[in-house]
Amino acid sequence: MRIGVPDDTPRRGDDSRPARRFSRDPAGIGGAEYAPGMTLTTADGRAVEIRPAYGNYDGFFDVVGVKKPGGKGCWCMAYRDSRVPNEGRADYMRGECATEPGPGVLAYVDGAAAGWCSVAPRSTYRRLMNSRTIPLVDEADPWSVVCFVVRGGYRRQGLMHHLLQGAVDHVAAHGGGILEGYPGESGARMDSVSGYIGTTDLFERARFERVVATDSRTGGRVRWLMRRTVTADA
């Protein structure tokens, strides 16, 4: 089995699993050094916890789920498999959240689900595996960060930095390996649609390195393939 590729055995979710906590970064700009066991806060001082989506479907639904009965939405399926019909997406993601390692990590602010980062082995994202614009640069099966979502009322509080560090720690907890993302080039402010992928500045602050400029564009900006090698937890 390649590092980071989940087996096919579903495991029961465990809502009692303790949250992972990392270092304080009050400004929310990623400048502080993260360390296990330290506590995160938002820019305005509220407590932040990063939890795996495994066993936490309710939190995923609070951030990403479509609340209107019969309403349409991504459900974080655009990269996974957009062929899944709208009416089947909630069940699909419920299954993902019930199976190790889960589809990503969640940020909780004072106990309320506030942010989401999709992180999983690249091989589980159908759109990435078939992409003509974001290349496979080698034979590795890296983990991939493909999107961030932060709920209204919690934005501009540094949660994307905390979520990205949470993704790093999530990979470390599952054997480590290569983690990559596909952010847009930093510069003038991104529009809200383009901003879901993050910026090169966000990833560089988390010690990712640029590997190659892709042929993908968002908001007129080039997207970079960036990587960081993550050491497994001891």
Domain positions in the chain are 40-230
Q: Examine the pLDDT at 37 and tell me if it is beyond 70.
A: no
Q: What is the per-residue pLDDT for 178?
A: 98
The pLDDT mean for the chain works out to: 84
- What is the residue type of 172? A
Fold (topology level) of 40-230: Aminopeptidase (3.40.630)
Q: Is 93 left (phi over 0), alpha (psi -120 to 50) or beta?
A: alpha
Q: Around 200, how many Cα atoms within 13 Å sit in the side-chain half-sphere?
A: 18
**pLDDT band at residue 14 using 50, 70 and 90 as cut-offs:** very low
| Beta sheet of 104-109, edge-to-edge order | 40-41, 47-52, 104-109, 112-121, 143-150, 177-181, 221-230, 209-218
Residue 39: other Cβ atoms inside 10 A: 11
- Judge whether 134 and 102 are in contact, CB under 8 Å: no
Cα–Cα nearest to 166, from 109, 100, 117: 117
pLDDT tens digits for range 217-231: 988 889 999 999 999
Q: Examine the pLDDT at 17 and tell me if it is beyond 80.
A: no
* pTM, entire model: 0.83
